[in-house]
Amino acid sequence: MLLPSFEGVTVQRVTTAEEVAQWGPAFVDAYRHIFADAPYHEVFAEDEVDAIWRRLTAARGNITLIAIDPQGAVVGFGIAIPLAEAPDVARELNGLVPVKATSYLVELGVEASWRRRGLARHLVRLRIALLDRATTTHVVLRVAEGRSATFEMYRAMHFTDMGVSMQVRRLRTDGTLQTDVRHFMSRVLSQVQFEDDPTARE
């Protein structure tokens, strides 16, 4: 499914098994590249990212968006899954949000050369616009500790800090194994519906 494009990049929703197979390698490349960069400096093996891609695209009700440049490279992605499909995260948030009616914005990334043009915001808004509001009332996500740019972006999009965090242990590009803290943010969908029209200007 083709979605509103963005300054020369095509945004596509990946739904079929053929599309999952077609875009997997380009997603793996983009993901490894984006998260090896600041601020995360994380090392992901190809197999590991391929497993992430397969798991998320197989999740019931997933919304998988990729941004493709004119050369066919994936330069951005945004994936949402029902919170119930991420049991480790759902466990942390149980009692704070209605798990069965909550969407989890699980992945977001934009290649460095495409940053600061509003592509991430576009991918967030499109995912929210594609949620079924009859069954989804809340949206949650995690941001890395001290990464104020991402935090500020979500705050500007009406997400609030839930005051809850969880630790993530990952291998970094300098070879060390480090733990960092991810903070949860949430938003109630019914409060701000109109602004989620991806064709609307903020």
Ligand X SMILES: CC(C)(COP(=O)(O)OP(=O)(O)OC[C@H]1O[C@@H](n2cnc3c(N)ncnc32)[C@H](O)[C@@H]1OP(=O)(O)O)[C@@H](O)C(=O)NCCC(=O)NCCS
Give me the DSSP letters along 33-94: HHHHSTTT-B---HHHHHHHHHHHHHSTT-EEEEEE-TTS-EEEEEEEEEGGG-HHHHHHHB
Q: Return the structure tokens found at 136.
A: 């989804």
Residue 92: CB minimum distance to ligand X, A: 16
Residue 194: CB minimum distance to ligand X, A: 20
Binding mask 7-36 toward ligand X (x if CB under 6 A, else -) reads ---------------------------x--
Instruction: With CB under 6 A as the rule, give the number of residues binding ligand X.
Output: 17
Nearer to ligand X among residue 23 and residue 31 (C-beta) = 31
Residue 161: CB minimum distance to ligand X, A: 13
The only residue of 1, 5, 46, 152 in contact with ligand X, by rule CB under 6 A: 152
Among positions 111-130, residues that touch ligand X (CB under 6 A) are 115-121
Whole-angstrom Cα Rg for the chain: 16
Bond prior to 39 in cis (omega within 30° of 0): yes
